[in-house]
Amino acid sequence: MKLKYFGTDGFRGKANEGLNVDHAFKIGRFVGWYYGARTDKKARIVLGKDTRRSSYMFESALVAGLVASGADAYMLHVIPTPGVSYVTANGAFDCGIMITASHNPFSDNGIKLVNTNGEKMDDEVLKLVEDYIDGKIDVPLATGDKIGCTVDFMQGRNRYIAYLIASANFSLQGVKVGLDCANGAASSVAKPVFDALGADVYVFNNTPNGFNINVNCGSTHIEEMQSYVLRNNLDVGFAYDGDADRCIAVDERGRVVDGDLILYLCGRYLNKHGGLSKSTVVPTVMSNFGLFKALEEIGINAEKTDVGDKYVYACMRQNGYSLGGEQSGHVIFGDIENTGDGIMTSLRIMEVIRAEKETLSTLVRPVKLYPQLLINVPVVDKKATMAAPEVLAAVEEAEKFLEGNGRVLVRASGTEELVRILAEAPTDELCKRADDIVLAAVEKYRTE
């Protein structure tokens, strides 16, 4: 189903440009009615936000819309996106709303909707929301005692923190852990969790001011954590993004442990202890070729999906798999959650480190990540380019050139008229040569 406003990760845009307070008010108006008055009941809807300045504005607009339609709005205030999912699913709420633009700059924002199970909202409901925004549906205002109320629900965030702590059945006494909170939603959550487990916690980028979220920090600027780990002689470091649904780790030697390596680390451990359903991990097509080879060597299957944690989770749910994720650090542990949770991911990594009594660098050493070379080519028509016979033939030629010891992936951008050419091979030179084979065919369709 083609949606107008909502993408794979919510309704995104520059604050008060692509996404404005009128949109937020209307989203609140519709979901408040849809989950409440439409079925002759009072809806209970929980909402949270990240730390960017505009999140407070959008929160007010959403709450106004919700109560105007007769729903009760439970305000979690600043909390990670997975915290909203957890509270929604475990607090008998009709749906949840998160205000965030994830790893984007502070000038952007977004609205994510989750269903009563804490899962991303079905497209059918999102299409109805869009129809209301565009004036195709009428929704009545609540009156009299039908008007909703607001509830300061800070205890919901406390329950989420308690849940994270309870999920860890180990002590981190004597372990030096670094946390980069990206000046975002993890700032008030991550440190209390690790403190409760007894870790020696070193935290930075945890003083949000509304404008510094994701600025040269967090999972998209992992070099900050790399130098911090080495400078402070830490055992491990974890960097989150603005809404803390991602986690990228850094080992004791200052080397990056991305989502692919996390999938290997946790997949191997779970499989060893009978906790990896069907001995299968669910990465995306963008995961490194070295991950697939390493998983194959230890007897673990890889079920690839399109890019996006939405598709990873859909594959996991449909097939009963228990572990999946993306290179970017979105990792989903299907036996305990239904969305990526950066803090939970860091706890699962610590579980493996403690149980195996090994350093993080040792545990991920078997994976030999291949060099990658990505070329973005602006084209007139990405669909026509992708379907062109000479492009398809060039991809096949490049694959044959690599002789099974690498791969070439050609994808159309989801948001721009771009074709992305990605080559993976044992050396940078082989990557370039494989990319050049495909690039020669795509050049015909390049934008002048």
Residues 6 or more apart whose CB falls under 8 angstroms from that of 290 comprise 260, 367, 368, 369, 370, 424
Select from 104, 123, 124, 101 the least CA-distant residue to 112.
Answer: 101
**Residue bearing tokens 């060893």:** 272
Residue 85's region, left for phi above 0, alpha for psi from -120 to 50, else beta, is alpha
Whole-angstrom distance, CA of residue 300 vs CA of residue 384: 36
How far are the Cα atoms of 219, 273, 343 from residue 359, in angstroms, in the given order?
21, 19, 19
Q: Active site includes 102?
A: yes
Q: Residue 1, Cβ neighbours under 10 Å: how many?
A: 7
DSSP line for 41-88: S--EEEEEE-SSHHHHHHHHHHHHHHHHTTPEEEEEEE--HHHHHHHH
Angstrom distance (rounded) from CA 251 to CA 182: 19
Q: Which of 54, 102, 188, 328 is catalytic?
A: 102
Torsion region of 320: left, alpha or beta (phi above 0 gives left; psi -120 to 50 gives alpha)? left
Residues designated catalytic: 102
